[in-house]
Structure 1
């Protein structure tokens, strides 16, 4: 008799809605995000994870909620599905918590969920550390350490479990921030507790390192190098304190947690959505200035979902400018930088070595290489 892997599945259909339309989150603003033209993407993120384990579907029983919270996608992909909770067309946090309560009675091998930090919190508040979980990153905010570095990486970890590899479990922090303060440019992260996740450091992200760089001289040197090489064309200025140092040197207003446009060292537009960026960069050369998230190494797909895969293709790999202090790079302990654009083929194409600006006339070669794509 074949023993089937009992995989709990939860998709937060609203996760990540606010990212592409510059709302910097989805908590409490889903209707506004949809009104601005945001498209739900969490099911696509979960699909990317489940595609990794499609060859194993005869060995997997997916236990989930009805409709968009799991049933529809799993059935479309050909998995065996058992629905244990019914939800309406419009879902909210209480639906996630209700599903988890039922799944706790199912003796799962793993709960796989797609969402952001709010979803992780909802699951933690019901389950605590009573069952192993793994997140598929689909939200705007991913501070928690319970997520794979990409959807494909999350699927790879499930595949390892199905292959019988010795994957230990570890406690990982559940983090979340105050989104109201976040939309005002203030990061207030809080630790809510821990959940059990597979201990596979190649594929599971570290908890984000917060705080502002204290070595202002290094940031000034980095900013000086960017200004020294700036040409008279359009620049997309990403989020983060390192890019903010460049904007300060240009004496331009900066959206710390958003994306701005600069041309000829003058501010063109501030805090742009994905659609606005595509409109403003149409049919003209453009460069992208970004930095990495400390501790995680992500340069795309964390807190800057306004940088859509379509936009990145327009920019091209050669016009991506990465800024980072050597302290941040050393803190990665040799781990590569990560791209999570939502398009696995694009992510694969973006892999390679980049000249990272680390000071004035100071660069290091550093690899972008999602380990799950190699």
Structure 2
């Protein structure tokens, strides 16, 4: 069996520093200046580690250095390396690797990245071979990704062992990052890839928001504002569900970023992880976060600024989850998910938590750390 293995080492670097992606050399350089570091390689290793039981039965075709070779070698896999080692990795390198793997007839393509990476892969393979993504980017709207790096490894393992036979056509989505940084979400469907599918392991396409839910969001905002206590920092998560809170306070809102409020006044807007930690250090703080419709994440998708370190400092009991009833119904009974990249923090959420669904209503719902 041949496994294609591609890692986009810069995927997700812009998340914790509040850049909402790493498309483009200028943005990548800015992320590095702000202290961002590659996290995709470690996430890729978590997935590949699941396949160690097949170490003598599979042939890994991968790329030089941090694009796959390093991760495979560190886990003891012997690999066939294609292409030349490069200092700077770009989307063209991902596409070139995918093209060679298609020619070599890999049985499955396992790749780590975000929506941009999925789009690069799709540009080459289309629906010609099955693939599964290891979530490592900031904005993961596409349905070609597993819900956690380990889940991607489990999907690959079951597929290569012949235990997982269901293949579905999954959407490849991407958004305009420049518009995204300005608070505008313009998602585009680029096509469909074939993905080995198991509901518990593979994430769904991010759901849009029905306009009729606006009144429910305003009701939730009224409750949150009424609960606000003096001298406490409120870290307001990203998304359209939290925007009415800032509107109720009469404050500017970073739709796709993180804002901090204290005494109903804006302390800081569009902050990164380091800014948050500096502002709340030694102070009492609470996080207001919403659920991504259709996918169910509260941490780890589009809000990496709310990192494991931030959550530890705030404390799990100071996290307020908000979501309309329709958004919860869209999960189809699946748990709300947490994927911070920190296993210790993820485990903190393996419990039932209160979800505020309107001014006077809350529900108890299962949360799962991945």
TM-score (norm 2): 0.96
Structure 2 gaps of 5+ residues are none
Q: How does 1:172-183 map to 2 (within 5 A)?
A: 172-183=170-181
Structure 1 gaps of 5+ residues are none
Q: Which residue of 1 aligns with 2:101?
A: 103
Structure 1 residues 96-116: Cα deviation after superposition (integer angstroms, max 9, x where no partner) = 111111101222121110001
- Mapped to 1, the partners of 2:325 and 2:173 lie a distance apart of 26
Q: Is the 8 A contact 1:58 1:80 kept in 2?
A: no
Q: Is the 8 A contact 2:164 2:197 kept in 1?
A: no
1:187 and 2:192 are equivalent in the alignment: no
- TM superposition shift of 1:33: 1.0
Q: How many residues align?
A: 367
- Mapped to 1, the partners of 2:33 and 2:13 lie a distance apart of 11
Q: Is the 8 A contact 1:240 1:291 kept in 2?
A: yes
Q: Which residue of 1 aligns with 2:117?
A: 119
SS at match of 1:135: strand
- Mapped to 1, the partners of 2:58 and 2:344 lie a distance apart of 26
SS at match of 1:196: strand
Q: Which residue of 1 aligns with 2:9?
A: 13
Structure 1 residues 104-154: Cα deviation after superposition (integer angstroms, max 9, x where no partner) = 122212111000111011111111111110000111110111001111211
- Mapped to 2, the partners of 1:36 and 1:166 lie a distance apart of 42
1:76 and 2:54 are equivalent in the alignment: no
Q: Which residue of 2 aligns with 1:269?
A: 268
Q: Which residue of 2 aligns with 1:150?
A: 148
Q: How does 1:197-346 map to 2 (within 5 A)?
A: 197-211=195-209, 213-232=211-230, 233-346=232-345
Q: Which residue of 2 aligns with 1:131?
A: 129
Structure 1 residues 243-295: Cα deviation after superposition (integer angstroms, max 9, x where no partner) = 11111111111111000111111110000011111111111221110001111
- Mapped to 1, the partners of 2:334 and 2:234 lie a distance apart of 28
Q: Which runs of at least 4 in structure 1 moved beyond 4 Å after TM superposition? A: none
Q: Is the 8 A contact 2:155 2:164 kept in 1?
A: no
- Mapped to 2, the partners of 1:87 and 1:174 lie a distance apart of 28
Q: Is the 8 A contact 2:127 2:194 kept in 1?
A: yes
TM-score (norm 1): 0.95
- Mapped to 1, the partners of 2:332 and 2:292 lie a distance apart of 14
Cα root mean square deviation, aligned: 1.3
